[in-house]
Amino acid sequence: MEHNTSPFKGKTGIKRISNAAGYSLAGLMAAYRGEAAFRQLVWANLVLIPLSFCFDLEPVEHALLVAVCLLSLIIELFNSAIEAVVDRISLERHPLSKNAKDMGSAAQMIAMLMIAVVWGIILIG
C-alpha cells in the first residue's frame, strides 16, 4: 500500500500533540527573534487587547476586538513563512518571488485595515 504522506509524519496521540506544541513554540520564537514586524505586532497586541477591556462593550464586541488583533499575528506568521520559503528557494530576484512576497504583505495590510475598521465601528459606532 502506497502512502502519500511525509516520512516525518509518524507520531500519533499525545506524542504528536507534544511535538506539534514544540514546533509551534519554535515557530513563534523564530518569528519573534527574526521578524521585526512580528515583534511590533506582538507589542501592539499587548497594548490593544488589554485596552479592549477598558470599554463597556458586549462580550461579542470584546471578542471581535481581540480576534482581529490576533488575526494580524496569524497573517504575519504566514507572511514571514512565505518570505522564508521564497528566500530558501532562491535569493535571485524573480517576478514570481516578488509577487509572493508582495501578496503576503498585502494580506497583512488588509489585516491592519481590518483592525482599524472593526475597532472604529465598535468604539465610534
Strand (E) or helix (H) holding 3:
none
CATH architecture assignment, domain 36-124:
Orthogonal Bundle (1.10)
Whether 2 has a pLDDT exceeding 70, the answer reads no
Q: Which three cell numbers stand for residue 61?
A: 464586541
Give which of 39, 45, 109 is closest to 75, Cα–Cα.
109
Annotated binding site: 16, 23, 35, 76, 83, 92-94, 101-102, 105
* CA atoms within 13 A of residue 100's CA, in its CB half-sphere: 16
Which pLDDT score, from 0 to 100, does residue 103 have?
97
Give which of 84, 96, 97, 87 is closest to 27, Cα–Cα.
84
Which pLDDT score, from 0 to 100, does residue 63 have?
97
pLDDT tens digits for range 48-87:
999 999 999 999 999 999 999 999 999 999 999 999 999 9
Name the H helices within 1-125. Answer: 13-34, 36-52, 59-89, 95-124
Predicted TM-score (pTM) of this structure: 0.85
Which pLDDT score, from 0 to 100, does residue 13 have?
84
pLDDT tens digits for range 5-50:
666 666 778 988 999 999 999 999 999 999 999 999 999 999 999 9
Which pLDDT score, from 0 to 100, does residue 23 have?
93
Give which of 30, 116, 31, 119 is closest to 75, Cα–Cα.
31
> Residue range 114-119: average pLDDT?
97
Domain boundaries, the chain: 36-124
Which pLDDT score, from 0 to 100, does residue 10 have?
67
Give which of 73, 16, 75, 8 is closest to 40, Cα–Cα.
73
Annotated binding site for ATP: 16, 23, 35, 83, 92-94, 101-102
Q: Which of 2, 58, 61, 76 is catalytic?
A: 76
Task: For residue 76, indicate whether it is catalytic.
Answer: yes
Which pLDDT score, from 0 to 100, does residue 30 have?
96
Annotated binding site for substrate: 16, 76, 105
